[in-house]
Amino acid sequence: MKAGRPGGRHGIHSLRGKLTLANVALLAIGIVAATAVSVMGMRYYLLDQIDGNLVKTRDSLGSTRLTLRDLDSLNVLSFARDRLVPEARNQDRTPDSIFTAVDGRGESVGVLGLQPTEAQRGLAGAVDDPKALTADPEPHDVTVGGTAYRTTATRLPDGTYVLLATSTELLHNGVAKAVRMNLAIGGLLLALLACLTMVSVRRRMQPLEDMVETSSAIAEGDLTRRVPSSREATLEVEQLRVALNSMLHQVESAYRTRERSAAQLRRFVADASHELRTPLSAIRGYLQLYDRGMLSDPDERKRAWVRVLAETDRMGRLVDELLTLARLDQQPELRLRNVDISRLVRDAAEDLRVQQPERPIAVDAAGSLLVRADESGLRQVLGNLVANVRTHTPADVPVRLGVERADGQVRLCVADQGPGLCAEDAARVFDRFFRAGGGAGSGLGMAIVQGVVQAHGGEVTVRTAPGEGLAVTVGLPAGAAGQESGSGSESGS
């Protein structure tokens, strides 16, 4: 089943949708705030202009020190004349400005020979205390006939109060119009910025979508997929991409290693079963012959028991080698101590000389060369290498065993002049149960050699070619204990 992606990935609940909404919300807040500030500034400015004109006219009237009768002939009444004449002609019109005089009883009286209009009487009625209004230098808000005004007053020497008022209707209409225009322009700007934000967020989110696609492909089994690089990626996303690709590489390597290990384990189990089946079949066969009374002759019974013991011994050695490999796979703790590897080489040569007196043997291991190692492990390495020579080469083929210290290593070499191996067989020489040409042996000796040497932190190399013999070199870390005394070589046959 293929790994599906979450539904609605471009919806409002996706990261892309949330980022877009967040940006649009911030832009909307900014536009509303800018509109509010500009409108408030505009209103304050216009209101200040209205108040300034009212205060200027009020101060001009107050500075004349004239009575109501003296006002008709003064140019200072240009403010009132310009506004009262149209008012007199059109009683139904809501005036932009109102100029009226109030007597001591608080009632409006005529100015410029005209009777008080409805607006003038309304202004006089809206001002409860002209005296208090006169005492305040700032204009006040009043409502006359449903229209808002800014009003102020001044007192003439004869006790008459003059009320001045200017409508703020135009101000409010202008402010409302400005709000509508700002909101309309802001809405268009917000829509444009929202589209640009969506495009920008989509481009910025593309690297993350690539990661999702790569993860889905890997979940479906394609372990070779990697997250591609992108020019739109930020520094953090690029670092995430690099880290993710590194992790994917390790996952793929671990998976391939596990596959190889599983294949090796299956092959190992099959080979081990085959190797154990051969001696078990032989033992079972002889026991069945004995059980059926078919080994009546004493000599035949003796030969059968000899074969049974031989196969039992072979099976025991195979089991021991398998246990050794199993312990090496578990990386056992080595019993390290100072070991004279030169002495071990000489001992191995002596053992081979006893087993095959006719074989020419050269030894280059005089003196003493110490290494920090597990002695039983090194003896097993030498024993397997010598057994390999003894099993796979004719008895008259020369062999050389040597040890030296070079480049911070102690190098042990076992070289014969036998038939050698082809390149294909040499590449598999350390495989478990591998036997070149189907030869004798269990096929585990070289695998054990490699396991023991690697447990010591060393390495094993093979140099061979058809007809040129086989040379196996073991390199071990010399360590602090490595020292050499004496030199020389010996040979024997």
pLDDT category at 471 given cuts 50, 70, 90 is very high
Q: How distant, in Å, are the alpha carbons of 338, 365, 378, 409 from that of 372?
A: 5, 17, 11, 11
Q: Is the pLDDT of residue 413 over 90?
A: yes
425 and 364, same structural domain? yes
Q: Is residue 114 part of a domain?
A: no
355 and 302, same structural domain? no
488 and 341, same structural domain? yes
Q: What is the mean pLDDT of residues 351-379?
A: 89
Report the sign of the C-alpha dihedral through residues 262, 439, 355, 360, in that order: negative
Contact indicator for 459, 453 with CB cutoff of 8 Å: yes
396 and 262, same structural domain? no
Q: How distant, in Å, are the alpha carbons of 212, 326, 381, 451 from that of 329?
A: 38, 5, 16, 8
pTM: 0.47
What's the count of helices (H) and strands (E) in the chain, helices before strands?
Answer: 11, 14
The pLDDT score that the predictor gives to residue 105 is 62
Residue 466 domain boundaries = 337-492
Q: Is the pLDDT of residue 6 over 50?
A: no
What is the DSSP track for 402-439?
Answer: EEEEETTEEEEEEEE-S----HHHHHTTTSTT--GGG-
Last residue of a domain, one of 279, 299, 329: 329
Q: Is residue 140 part of a domain?
A: no
Q: Is the pLDDT of residue 294 over 90?
A: no
Q: What is the pLDDT of residues 61-82, one digit of tens each?
A: 777 666 555 555 544 445 445 5
371 and 275, same structural domain? no
Of 204-218, 339-353, 414-428, the range with the lowest mean pLDDT is 204-218
Q: What is the mean pLDDT of residues 309-334?
A: 77
Q: Is residue 479 part of a domain?
A: yes
The pair of three-digit structure tokens given for residue 432, joined into one six-digit string: 């478990």
Q: Is residue 149 part of a domain?
A: no
Q: What is the pLDDT of residues 114-167, one digit of tens each?
A: 456 677 777 777 777 777 777 778 888 888 878 888 888 888 777 777 778 888
Structure-model confidence comparison of residues 268 and 94, the more confident one: 268
Phi, psi angle pair for 431, to nearest 5°: -70, 145
470 and 441, same structural domain? yes
The pair of three-digit structure tokens given for residue 342, joined into one six-digit string: 């030169």
d(CA 109, CA 336): 125
Q: Is residue 271 part of a domain?
A: yes
Last residue of a domain, one of 304, 329, 354: 329
**Structural domains in the chain (count):** 2
297 and 422, same structural domain? no
Q: What is the mean pLDDT of residues 419-433?
A: 84
476 and 425, same structural domain? yes
The pLDDT score that the predictor gives to residue 11 is 59
Rounded percentage of the chain residues whose pLDDT exceeds 70 = 82
Residue 273 belongs to domain with CATH number: 1.10.287.130
The CA-to-CA distance between both ends of the chain, in Å, stands at 70
342 and 301, same structural domain? no
